[in-house]
Amino acid sequence: MGQALARFERHLVSRGLRLTSVRRAILTAVLERAGHFPIEDLIADLKRRGIRGSKATVYRTLPMLTEAGILQQAVITGDMRSYEAAVGREHHDHLVCLGCGKVVEFEFEAFEILQREIAARHGFRLEGHHHQLVGRCPECQRKELAPAAPLSEGGASRTQHSPI
Amino acid sequence: MGQALARFERHLVSRGLRLTSVRRAILTAVLERAGHFPIEDLIADLKRRGIRGSKATVYRTLPMLTEAGILQQAVITGDMRSYEAAVGREHHDHLVCLGCGKVVEFEFEAFEILQREIAARHGFRLEGHHHQLVGRCPECQRKELAPAAPLSEGGASRTQHSPI
DNA sequence: CGTATTATGAGACACAGTCTCAATGATGCC
DNA sequence: GGCATCATTGAGACTGTGTCTCATAATACG
Protein backbone atom coordinates (compact mmCIF):
# COMPACT_ATOMS: atom_id res chain seq x y z
CA MET A 1 0.00 0.00 0.00
CA GLY A 2 2.57 2.57 1.11
CA GLN A 3 4.63 1.27 -1.74
CA ALA A 4 1.84 1.86 -4.23
CA LEU A 5 1.30 5.31 -2.84
CA ALA A 6 4.94 6.20 -3.21
CA ARG A 7 4.91 4.88 -6.72
CA PHE A 8 1.85 6.89 -7.57
CA GLU A 9 3.32 10.05 -6.13
CA ARG A 10 6.55 9.56 -8.05
CA HIS A 11 4.56 9.11 -11.20
CA LEU A 12 2.49 12.21 -10.62
CA VAL A 13 5.33 14.44 -9.59
CA SER A 14 7.38 13.36 -12.56
CA ARG A 15 4.82 15.02 -14.76
CA GLY A 16 3.97 18.04 -12.72
CA LEU A 17 0.79 16.61 -11.22
CA ARG A 18 -0.24 16.60 -7.60
CA LEU A 19 -1.06 13.89 -5.12
CA THR A 20 -4.27 15.23 -3.68
CA SER A 21 -6.42 13.82 -0.95
CA VAL A 22 -9.05 12.73 -3.43
CA ARG A 23 -6.49 10.84 -5.45
CA ARG A 24 -5.17 9.24 -2.32
CA ALA A 25 -8.69 8.18 -1.38
CA ILE A 26 -9.22 6.67 -4.78
CA LEU A 27 -5.99 4.75 -4.55
CA THR A 28 -6.97 3.41 -1.15
CA ALA A 29 -10.38 2.33 -2.34
CA VAL A 30 -8.83 0.69 -5.36
CA LEU A 31 -6.37 -1.34 -3.34
CA GLU A 32 -9.08 -2.52 -1.02
CA ARG A 33 -10.96 -4.06 -3.87
CA ALA A 34 -8.50 -6.81 -4.34
CA GLY A 35 -9.99 -8.51 -7.38
CA HIS A 36 -11.54 -7.12 -10.51
CA PHE A 37 -13.99 -4.34 -10.15
CA PRO A 38 -16.16 -2.29 -12.42
CA ILE A 39 -15.66 1.45 -12.13
CA GLU A 40 -19.21 1.99 -11.04
CA ASP A 41 -18.62 -0.09 -7.91
CA LEU A 42 -15.60 1.92 -7.03
CA ILE A 43 -17.54 5.14 -7.21
CA ALA A 44 -20.17 3.63 -4.95
CA ASP A 45 -17.43 2.69 -2.47
CA LEU A 46 -16.20 6.24 -2.34
CA LYS A 47 -19.68 7.62 -1.85
CA ARG A 48 -20.27 5.19 0.97
CA ARG A 49 -17.18 6.43 2.78
CA GLY A 50 -18.32 9.99 2.53
CA ILE A 51 -15.67 10.94 0.04
CA ARG A 52 -17.45 12.83 -2.61
CA GLY A 53 -15.29 11.74 -5.52
CA SER A 54 -17.25 12.54 -8.63
CA LYS A 55 -17.53 10.24 -11.59
CA ALA A 56 -15.36 12.58 -13.61
CA THR A 57 -12.56 12.49 -11.08
CA VAL A 58 -12.57 8.74 -10.82
CA TYR A 59 -12.54 8.38 -14.56
CA ARG A 60 -9.66 10.81 -14.67
CA THR A 61 -7.69 9.09 -11.95
CA LEU A 62 -7.86 5.47 -13.01
CA PRO A 63 -5.84 5.97 -16.18
CA MET A 64 -3.18 7.65 -14.09
CA LEU A 65 -3.04 4.64 -11.83
CA THR A 66 -2.76 2.48 -14.88
CA GLU A 67 0.09 4.52 -16.27
CA ALA A 68 1.77 4.33 -12.92
CA GLY A 69 1.58 0.56 -13.15
CA ILE A 70 -0.66 0.19 -10.12
CA LEU A 71 -3.71 -0.95 -12.01
CA GLN A 72 -4.29 -2.76 -15.20
CA GLN A 73 -7.36 -2.90 -17.32
CA ALA A 74 -9.15 -6.20 -17.23
CA VAL A 75 -11.34 -6.69 -20.23
CA ILE A 76 -13.61 -9.16 -18.60
CA THR A 77 -16.83 -9.11 -20.48
CA GLY A 78 -16.23 -6.58 -23.18
CA ASP A 79 -19.25 -4.74 -21.87
CA MET A 80 -17.79 -2.45 -19.32
CA ARG A 81 -14.40 -1.17 -18.49
CA SER A 82 -13.02 -2.87 -15.47
CA TYR A 83 -9.74 -2.78 -13.59
CA GLU A 84 -7.70 -4.82 -11.21
CA ALA A 85 -4.62 -4.30 -9.11
CA ALA A 86 -1.34 -4.87 -10.90
CA VAL A 87 1.23 -4.42 -8.18
CA GLY A 88 2.70 -7.12 -6.10
CA ARG A 89 1.21 -9.87 -8.17
CA GLU A 90 2.35 -12.13 -10.91
CA HIS A 91 0.76 -11.47 -14.21
CA HIS A 92 -2.29 -13.63 -14.72
CA ASP A 93 -5.16 -14.16 -17.09
CA HIS A 94 -8.82 -14.97 -16.66
CA LEU A 95 -11.18 -17.85 -17.03
CA VAL A 96 -14.78 -16.66 -17.06
CA CYS A 97 -17.95 -18.65 -16.62
CA LEU A 98 -20.66 -17.80 -19.12
CA GLY A 99 -23.33 -19.09 -16.80
CA CYS A 100 -22.71 -17.31 -13.54
CA GLY A 101 -20.00 -14.82 -14.41
CA LYS A 102 -17.50 -16.27 -11.99
CA VAL A 103 -13.91 -15.30 -12.74
CA VAL A 104 -10.98 -17.59 -12.03
CA GLU A 105 -7.44 -16.36 -12.43
CA PHE A 106 -4.65 -18.45 -13.81
CA GLU A 107 -0.99 -18.00 -14.48
CA PHE A 108 0.90 -19.91 -17.07
CA GLU A 109 4.43 -19.00 -17.86
CA ALA A 110 4.31 -20.79 -21.19
CA PHE A 111 1.76 -18.38 -22.55
CA GLU A 112 3.95 -15.40 -21.85
CA ILE A 113 6.84 -16.95 -23.65
CA LEU A 114 4.80 -17.89 -26.68
CA GLN A 115 3.28 -14.45 -26.80
CA ARG A 116 6.64 -12.77 -26.93
CA GLU A 117 7.61 -15.17 -29.66
CA ILE A 118 4.56 -14.32 -31.76
CA ALA A 119 4.99 -10.59 -31.34
CA ALA A 120 8.62 -10.83 -32.34
CA ARG A 121 7.73 -12.85 -35.37
CA HIS A 122 5.62 -9.94 -36.61
CA GLY A 123 8.08 -7.26 -35.63
CA PHE A 124 5.85 -5.95 -32.86
CA ARG A 125 7.10 -4.70 -29.54
CA LEU A 126 4.78 -6.39 -27.09
CA GLU A 127 3.27 -4.08 -24.48
CA GLY A 128 0.52 -6.18 -23.04
CA HIS A 129 -2.24 -8.59 -23.81
CA HIS A 130 -5.74 -9.65 -23.04
CA HIS A 131 -6.27 -13.31 -22.62
CA GLN A 132 -9.57 -14.62 -21.46
CA LEU A 133 -10.98 -18.10 -21.65
CA VAL A 134 -14.73 -18.44 -21.56
CA GLY A 135 -16.67 -21.54 -20.68
CA ARG A 136 -18.85 -23.18 -18.08
CA CYS A 137 -17.76 -23.70 -14.54
CA PRO A 138 -18.38 -27.05 -12.86
CA GLU A 139 -21.46 -25.82 -10.99
CA CYS A 140 -23.09 -24.41 -14.07
CA GLN A 141 -22.43 -27.61 -15.97
CA ARG A 142 -24.19 -29.49 -13.24
CA LYS A 143 -27.12 -27.07 -13.22
CA GLU A 144 -27.47 -27.51 -16.95
CA LEU A 145 -28.39 -31.14 -16.55
CA ALA A 146 -30.64 -30.96 -13.53
CA PRO A 147 -33.42 -28.41 -13.83
CA ALA A 148 -36.48 -27.68 -15.99
CA ALA A 149 -36.76 -27.87 -19.79
CA PRO A 150 -33.93 -30.33 -20.26
CA LEU A 151 -33.84 -30.50 -24.05
CA SER A 152 -36.75 -28.49 -25.42
CA GLU A 153 -34.86 -27.23 -28.47
CA GLY A 154 -35.21 -23.46 -28.53
CA GLY A 155 -35.80 -22.71 -24.89
CA ALA A 156 -32.38 -23.26 -23.49
CA SER A 157 -30.35 -21.25 -25.95
CA ARG A 158 -32.69 -18.28 -26.07
CA THR A 159 -32.02 -17.26 -22.55
CA GLN A 160 -28.32 -17.88 -22.56
CA HIS A 161 -25.93 -15.06 -21.94
CA SER A 162 -24.46 -13.24 -24.89
CA PRO A 163 -22.43 -15.90 -26.62
CA ILE A 164 -19.38 -13.65 -26.81
CA MET B 1 -21.51 -18.21 -49.04
CA GLY B 2 -24.36 -20.48 -50.09
CA GLN B 3 -23.17 -22.69 -47.31
CA ALA B 4 -23.38 -19.92 -44.77
CA LEU B 5 -26.81 -19.01 -45.99
CA ALA B 6 -28.03 -22.56 -45.66
CA ARG B 7 -26.59 -22.71 -42.21
CA PHE B 8 -28.25 -19.47 -41.24
CA GLU B 9 -31.59 -20.62 -42.56
CA ARG B 10 -31.34 -23.89 -40.73
CA HIS B 11 -30.57 -22.02 -37.56
CA LEU B 12 -33.49 -19.65 -37.99
CA VAL B 13 -36.02 -22.24 -38.97
CA SER B 14 -35.04 -24.45 -36.08
CA ARG B 15 -36.33 -21.78 -33.75
CA GLY B 16 -39.32 -20.58 -35.67
CA LEU B 17 -37.67 -17.53 -37.20
CA ARG B 18 -37.68 -16.45 -40.82
CA LEU B 19 -35.00 -15.91 -43.38
CA THR B 20 -36.10 -12.56 -44.74
CA SER B 21 -34.59 -10.49 -47.50
CA VAL B 22 -33.17 -8.01 -45.03
CA ARG B 23 -31.46 -10.77 -43.09
CA ARG B 24 -30.11 -12.20 -46.29
CA ALA B 25 -28.75 -8.77 -47.24
CA ILE B 26 -27.08 -8.42 -43.88
CA LEU B 27 -25.50 -11.83 -44.23
CA THR B 28 -24.18 -10.93 -47.67
CA ALA B 29 -22.75 -7.65 -46.49
CA VAL B 30 -21.16 -9.38 -43.56
CA LEU B 31 -19.45 -11.99 -45.67
CA GLU B 32 -18.09 -9.35 -48.01
CA ARG B 33 -16.31 -7.65 -45.19
CA ALA B 34 -13.75 -10.36 -44.88
CA GLY B 35 -11.84 -9.09 -41.85
CA HIS B 36 -12.99 -7.49 -38.65
CA PHE B 37 -15.51 -4.79 -38.86
CA PRO B 38 -17.26 -2.47 -36.50
CA ILE B 39 -21.05 -2.64 -36.65
CA GLU B 40 -21.28 0.97 -37.65
CA ASP B 41 -19.37 0.26 -40.87
CA LEU B 42 -21.68 -2.57 -41.73
CA ILE B 43 -24.70 -0.34 -41.40
CA ALA B 44 -23.04 2.19 -43.68
CA ASP B 45 -22.43 -0.59 -46.23
CA LEU B 46 -26.08 -1.49 -46.24
CA LYS B 47 -27.17 2.12 -46.62
CA ARG B 48 -24.79 2.53 -49.53
CA ARG B 49 -26.38 -0.39 -51.33
CA GLY B 50 -29.83 1.06 -50.95
CA ILE B 51 -30.91 -1.55 -48.46
CA ARG B 52 -32.53 0.34 -45.72
CA GLY B 53 -31.55 -1.94 -42.88
CA SER B 54 -32.06 0.03 -39.72
CA LYS B 55 -29.64 0.09 -36.87
CA ALA B 56 -32.08 -1.91 -34.78
CA THR B 57 -32.35 -4.66 -37.34
CA VAL B 58 -28.62 -5.00 -37.74
CA TYR B 59 -28.14 -5.12 -34.01
CA ARG B 60 -30.80 -7.75 -33.85
CA THR B 61 -29.39 -9.84 -36.65
CA LEU B 62 -25.74 -10.03 -35.72
CA PRO B 63 -26.29 -12.05 -32.57
CA MET B 64 -28.30 -14.49 -34.65
CA LEU B 65 -25.41 -14.89 -37.02
CA THR B 66 -23.16 -15.42 -34.06
CA GLU B 67 -25.41 -18.09 -32.63
CA ALA B 68 -25.50 -19.74 -36.02
CA GLY B 69 -21.72 -19.90 -35.93
CA ILE B 70 -21.25 -17.66 -38.94
CA LEU B 71 -19.75 -14.76 -37.06
CA GLN B 72 -17.79 -14.43 -33.92
CA GLN B 73 -17.28 -11.42 -31.75
CA ALA B 74 -13.86 -9.95 -31.94
CA VAL B 75 -13.10 -7.87 -28.91
CA ILE B 76 -10.51 -5.76 -30.58
CA THR B 77 -10.21 -2.63 -28.56
CA GLY B 78 -12.70 -3.14 -25.81
CA ASP B 79 -14.30 0.11 -26.93
CA MET B 80 -16.74 -1.08 -29.50
CA ARG B 81 -18.35 -4.30 -30.42
CA SER B 82 -16.85 -5.76 -33.52
CA TYR B 83 -17.33 -8.97 -35.43
CA GLU B 84 -15.56 -11.13 -37.94
CA ALA B 85 -16.45 -14.11 -40.07
CA ALA B 86 -16.11 -17.46 -38.35
CA VAL B 87 -16.83 -19.94 -41.11
CA GLY B 88 -14.32 -21.55 -43.37
CA ARG B 89 -11.36 -20.29 -41.44
CA GLU B 90 -9.01 -21.64 -38.92
CA HIS B 91 -9.37 -20.16 -35.53
CA HIS B 92 -7.00 -17.27 -35.01
CA ASP B 93 -6.17 -14.53 -32.57
CA HIS B 94 -5.17 -10.92 -32.87
CA LEU B 95 -2.12 -8.76 -32.54
CA VAL B 96 -3.11 -5.10 -32.33
CA CYS B 97 -0.95 -2.02 -32.73
CA LEU B 98 -1.53 0.62 -30.08
CA GLY B 99 -0.18 3.31 -32.37
CA CYS B 100 -2.12 2.92 -35.58
CA GLY B 101 -4.73 0.32 -34.70
CA LYS B 102 -3.51 -2.15 -37.26
CA VAL B 103 -4.67 -5.72 -36.63
CA VAL B 104 -2.58 -8.75 -37.53
CA GLU B 105 -4.02 -12.21 -37.21
CA PHE B 106 -2.07 -15.17 -36.02
CA GLU B 107 -2.72 -18.82 -35.45
CA PHE B 108 -0.83 -20.91 -33.02
CA GLU B 109 -1.90 -24.41 -32.33
CA ALA B 110 0.02 -24.53 -29.09
CA PHE B 111 -2.19 -21.89 -27.52
CA GLU B 112 -5.31 -23.87 -28.20
CA ILE B 113 -3.86 -26.91 -26.58
CA LEU B 114 -2.69 -25.06 -23.51
CA GLN B 115 -6.03 -23.35 -23.19
CA ARG B 116 -7.89 -26.63 -23.12
CA GLU B 117 -5.44 -27.82 -20.54
CA ILE B 118 -6.04 -24.82 -18.29
CA ALA B 119 -9.80 -25.02 -18.57
CA ALA B 120 -9.73 -28.70 -17.72
CA ARG B 121 -7.55 -28.04 -14.73
CA HIS B 122 -10.28 -25.81 -13.31
CA GLY B 123 -13.13 -28.10 -14.29
CA PHE B 124 -14.43 -25.66 -16.88
CA ARG B 125 -15.87 -26.71 -20.18
CA LEU B 126 -14.13 -24.38 -22.62
CA GLU B 127 -16.44 -22.64 -25.08
CA GLY B 128 -14.24 -19.96 -26.51
CA HIS B 129 -11.66 -17.38 -25.73
CA HIS B 130 -10.42 -13.91 -26.41
CA HIS B 131 -6.76 -13.58 -26.95
CA GLN B 132 -5.29 -10.34 -28.03
CA LEU B 133 -1.73 -9.14 -27.93
CA VAL B 134 -1.18 -5.41 -27.90
CA GLY B 135 2.01 -3.62 -28.83
CA ARG B 136 3.67 -1.42 -31.40
CA CYS B 137 3.98 -2.42 -35.01
CA PRO B 138 7.30 -1.95 -36.81
CA GLU B 139 6.21 1.29 -38.51
CA CYS B 140 4.99 2.87 -35.31
CA GLN B 141 8.21 1.95 -33.56
CA ARG B 142 10.09 3.74 -36.29
CA LYS B 143 7.84 6.78 -36.10
CA GLU B 144 8.43 6.96 -32.39
CA LEU B 145 12.10 7.66 -32.89
CA ALA B 146 11.98 9.99 -35.85
CA PRO B 147 9.65 12.94 -35.40
CA ALA B 148 9.23 15.98 -33.15
CA ALA B 149 9.59 16.09 -29.36
CA PRO B 150 11.82 13.03 -29.09
CA LEU B 151 12.16 12.86 -25.31
CA SER B 152 10.36 15.85 -23.80
CA GLU B 153 9.15 13.94 -20.73
CA GLY B 154 5.43 14.48 -20.47
CA GLY B 155 4.55 15.03 -24.07
CA ALA B 156 4.94 11.58 -25.45
CA SER B 157 2.91 9.67 -22.92
CA ARG B 158 0.17 12.25 -22.59
CA THR B 159 -0.96 11.93 -26.15
CA GLN B 160 -0.68 8.20 -26.41
CA HIS B 161 -3.72 6.08 -27.04
CA SER B 162 -5.56 4.63 -24.11
CA PRO B 163 -3.00 2.42 -22.44
CA ILE B 164 -5.34 -0.56 -22.35
C1' DC C 1 -57.98 -14.57 -49.46
C1' DG C 2 -57.70 -13.93 -44.33
C1' DT C 3 -55.70 -14.51 -40.04
C1' DA C 4 -51.80 -15.08 -37.03
C1' DT C 5 -47.26 -14.31 -36.18
C1' DT C 6 -42.76 -12.51 -36.99
C1' DA C 7 -39.91 -8.68 -38.88
C1' DT C 8 -38.93 -4.05 -39.62
C1' DG C 9 -37.76 0.96 -39.06
C1' DA C 10 -37.83 5.35 -36.87
C1' DG C 11 -37.02 7.34 -33.13
C1' DA C 12 -37.26 7.51 -28.08
C1' DC C 13 -34.57 5.90 -24.52
C1' DA C 14 -30.73 4.17 -21.30
C1' DC C 15 -26.35 4.63 -19.84
C1' DA C 16 -21.11 4.53 -19.79
C1' DG C 17 -17.83 7.65 -20.44
C1' DT C 18 -16.11 12.54 -21.76
C1' DC C 19 -16.04 17.42 -21.61
C1' DT C 20 -16.81 22.12 -19.74
C1' DC C 21 -16.32 25.61 -16.66
C1' DA C 22 -16.63 27.98 -12.47
C1' DA C 23 -15.15 27.17 -7.82
C1' DT C 24 -11.69 25.16 -4.89
C1' DG C 25 -7.34 23.47 -3.31
C1' DA C 26 -2.33 23.01 -3.40
C1' DT C 27 2.29 25.11 -4.18
C1' DG C 28 5.80 28.17 -3.99
C1' DC C 29 7.45 32.78 -3.62
C1' DC C 30 7.73 36.87 -0.98
C1' DG D 1 1.24 34.47 6.90
C1' DG D 2 -0.44 36.39 2.34
C1' DC D 3 -0.74 36.15 -2.42
C1' DA D 4 -0.42 34.70 -7.22
C1' DT D 5 -0.51 30.71 -10.05
C1' DC D 6 -1.79 26.62 -11.70
C1' DA D 7 -3.73 22.00 -11.12
C1' DT D 8 -7.90 19.76 -9.41
C1' DT D 9 -12.53 19.08 -8.56
C1' DG D 10 -17.66 18.41 -9.08
C1' DA D 11 -22.01 19.04 -11.25
C1' DG D 12 -24.09 18.51 -15.01
C1' DA D 13 -24.30 18.98 -20.06
C1' DC D 14 -23.04 16.27 -23.76
C1' DT D 15 -21.74 12.23 -26.94
C1' DG D 16 -22.25 7.98 -28.97
C1' DT D 17 -23.21 3.00 -28.71
C1' DG D 18 -26.55 -0.02 -28.12
C1' DT D 19 -31.59 -1.23 -26.63
C1' DC D 20 -36.52 -0.82 -26.55
C1' DT D 21 -41.10 0.44 -28.25
C1' DC D 22 -44.71 0.38 -31.17
C1' DA D 23 -47.12 1.02 -35.34
C1' DT D 24 -46.68 -0.88 -39.89
C1' DA D 25 -45.13 -4.38 -43.27
C1' DA D 26 -44.00 -8.88 -44.66
C1' DT D 27 -44.54 -13.76 -44.43
C1' DA D 28 -46.58 -18.36 -43.44
C1' DC D 29 -50.26 -21.20 -43.60
C1' DG D 30 -54.91 -22.89 -43.54
- pLDDT tens digits, chain A, 164 residues: what are they? 678 899 999 999 998 999 999 999 999 999 888 677 888 889 988 888 877 779 999 999 999 998 898 888 776 655 677 888 876 667 788 888 877 778 888 888 888 899 999 999 999 988 878 788 888 889 888 876 665 443 333 333 333 333 33
Q: Which of B127, B69, B71 is nearest to A99 (CA)?
A: B127
Which pLDDT does position A135 carry in this prediction? 85
pLDDT (0 to 100) of residue B21: 92
| CA of A12, C1' of C21: distance in angstroms | 24
Q: Let me know: does B41 contact B69? Beta carbons within 8 Å.
A: no
pLDDT for residue A25: 93
* Cα–Cα distance for residue pair B95/B143, rounded to 1 Å: 19
Residue B58 has pLDDT above 80, yes or no: yes
pLDDT of residue B76: 61
Give kind and range of the element (H or E) at residue A66: helix A55-67
User: Would you place residue B20 in the very low, low, confident or very high pLDDT band (cuts 50, 70, 90)?
Assistant: very high
- Residues 41-80 of chain B with CB under 8 A from chain A are 63, 66-67, 73, 75, 78
Which of A66, A63, A109, A61 lies closest to A85 in space, CA to CA? A66
Inter-chain residue contact A135 with B118, CB threshold 8 Å: no
Binning pLDDT at 50, 70 and 90, where does residue B28 land? Answer: very high
What average pLDDT does the segment B6-31 reach? 93
According to the model, what pLDDT value does residue B160 have?
34
Phi, psi of B76, deg, nearest 5: -75, -60
**For residue B144, what pLDDT is reported?**
65
pLDDT at B94: 85
CA distance linking residue B153 with residue B88, whole number of Å: 48
Asked if A163 reaches chain B (Cβ–Cβ under 8 Å), the answer is yes
What is the Cα–Cα distance from B110 to B133, expressed in whole angstroms? 16
Distance of C1' in D23 from CA in B52, Å: 18
What confidence score (pLDDT) does residue B105 get? 86
